[in-house]
Amino acid sequence: MSIQIDLEGPVNMNTDEIEDELPAAGWHSVTIERAEARLSSKQEIPQIFILSRITDEADPQFNKTIIWSLNLAGGGMGFFKRCFAALGMPQVLNYDSYQDMADEIVGREVECKVKHGKYNGEPQAQVSGWRPSEGLTL
């Protein structure tokens, strides 16, 4: 399903109405909405960019997005392993491409732990842990 967006004008937008606070620190149940294979910002290693949405209606942060990236080489492999285990992915991964692997996690549910930090002096939500969602048994 593709979304059609008309980029013609006019544009009427009140940015005062845009909610831009970070997701609260702590555990949140999310569903992976988008996963994109790409190179890290330094173009050195492959990674997966993940956009997830809080899906627990009882969570005061319901419907807020949480974003993180997983490095697929180097020192960040422990995070990748823990995230994929919590998502219920197999230990042995065989895909034709990194994007095929990323596509496999779209729609999956997981609980992620958010903490707050700074990046380039700006506040940022950082995902620091994952665990299976309550509906997933490993």
Q: What is the model's pLDDT at position 135? A: 54
pLDDT surpasses 50 at 110? yes
pLDDT surpasses 60 at 1? no
- Domain ranges, ordered by start, for the chain: 23-132
pLDDT surpasses 80 at 108? yes
Q: What architecture does CATH give domain 23-132?
A: Beta Barrel (2.40)
In Å, how far are 4, 6, 32, 53, 112 from 28, measured between CA atoms? 31, 34, 12, 9, 6
Q: Provide mean pLDDT across the span 113-135.
A: 91
What is the C-alpha end-to-end distance of the chain, expressed in Å?
Answer: 31
The mean pLDDT of the chain is 90
- C-beta contacts of 65-72 below 8 A and 24+ residues apart: 65/23, 65/33, 66/23, 66/28, 66/30, 66/112, 66/114, 66/125, 66/127, 67/125, 68/112, 68/126, 68/127, 69/40, 71/40, 71/45, 71/46, 71/47, 72/45, 72/46, 72/47, 72/48, 72/98
